[in-house]
Amino acid sequence: MSDKVISVHNLVKKFGSFVANDHLSFEVYRGEIFGFLGANGAGKTTTIRILSGLSKPTSGEVMVAGYDAHKEPEMIKKNIGYMCQKFSLYEDLTVKENIMLYGGIYGMKKQLIRDRTHSLLERLQFEEYGDRLIAALPLGLKQKLAFSVAVLHEPKIVFLDEPTGGVDPVTRRQFWEMIYETAARGITVFVTTHYMDEAEYCDRVSIMNEGKIQALDTPAALKQQYNARSIEEVFIRIARPAKQ
């Protein structure tokens, strides 16, 4: 694991006098599953917006997929995928129409979209669902499809926001297996979540509080360091003193 896909040094983001990101430094590697945690208002969303080219840093060095977040945010956008639990697919379009739409947005050639649609539906054993509206699919299928669409263009990084919140435990495991498979293919998976048990599935986890990264390591090492049984306990120890 030596290829850096995300490299952040002394990232600062201010909104007026408010410091949302206070000198963040971290690296994420190729094929890694990286968990990015923090309490509400810790500054996570700000960081993710910068890492995905939607917002510019106030200062500091931010490289994503080989591109500079100050100068080349458009190139970053082309090389990442994004999926969140609440909104990812258009409910009133069919499965195939959604794939077509996202393929088009990512600038993929029609023939490539057709080929990938075919292989995607086959891999998910979704062939019979191709012409169904998204609204008619069960939640678990929607989520698997949304994830496949988010990596349709083979991005270097895919950002997942609470990917398995609320789904049943069986579907959840199928979903994590998809994530493992994707990471094993060399795509970096960047997970943000409120669900601390989701964090346990990541290779490394960072915990943010009040604009700073307070801890970053493998879940096992963090639990050992904080003498905790779960990442939830680690999280509460880090985030609690600062609350209120």
Partner 1 sequence: MTAKNIISVRDLNKSYGPVKALEAISFDVREGEIFGFIGPDGAGKTTLFRIITTLLLPDHGTVTALGLDCVKDFRELRNNIGYMPGRFSLYMDLTVEENLNFYATVFGTTVKENYDLIADIYSHIEPFKNRPAGKLSGGMKQKLALSCALIHKPALLVLDEPTTGVDAVSRAEFWEMLKKLKKYNITILVSTPYMDEAMQCDRVALIQGGRIMSVDQPERLSEGFTRKLFSVVASEKYKLITALREYPLTHSAYPFGESLHVTFRDDRYDDSLLDFLESKGVSGVTIEETLPGIEDRFLELMQKS
Where along the sequence are the contacts to partner 1 (CB under 8 A)? 38-41, 138-139, 165-171, 173, 176-177, 180-181, 183-184, 194-197, 200-201, 218-220, 230, 232, 235-236, 239-240, 243-244
What is the closest distance, in whole angstroms, from the C-beta atom of residue 84 to partner 1 in the complex?
12
What is the closest distance, in whole angstroms, from the C-beta atom of residue 41 to partner 1 in the complex?
6
What is the closest distance, in whole angstroms, from the C-beta atom of residue 82 to partner 1 in the complex?
19
Euclidean distance between CA atoms 175 and 162, whole angstroms: 12
Euclidean distance between CA atoms 106 and 9, whole angstroms: 28
Q: How many CB atoms lie within 10 A of CB 206?
A: 22
What are the beta bridge partners of residue 35?
A: 191, 205
What is the closest distance, in whole angstroms, from the C-beta atom of residue 227 to partner 1 in the complex?
17
Nearer to partner 1, 16 or 169 (CB): 169
What is the closest distance, in whole angstroms, from the C-beta atom of residue 243 to partner 1 in the complex?
6
Pairing state of beta strands 212-217 and 33-38? unpaired
Nearer to partner 1, 69 or 189 (CB): 189
Nearer to partner 1, 106 or 235 (CB): 235
Nearer to partner 1, 120 or 231 (CB): 231
Angstrom distances, CA of residue 181 to CA of 132, 176, 188, 213: 26, 8, 11, 28
Report helix, strand or coil for 223: helix
Euclidean distance between CA atoms 180 and 177, whole angstroms: 5
Nearer to partner 1, 88 or 117 (CB): 88
- Alpha helical stretches, state H, 55-94: 73-78
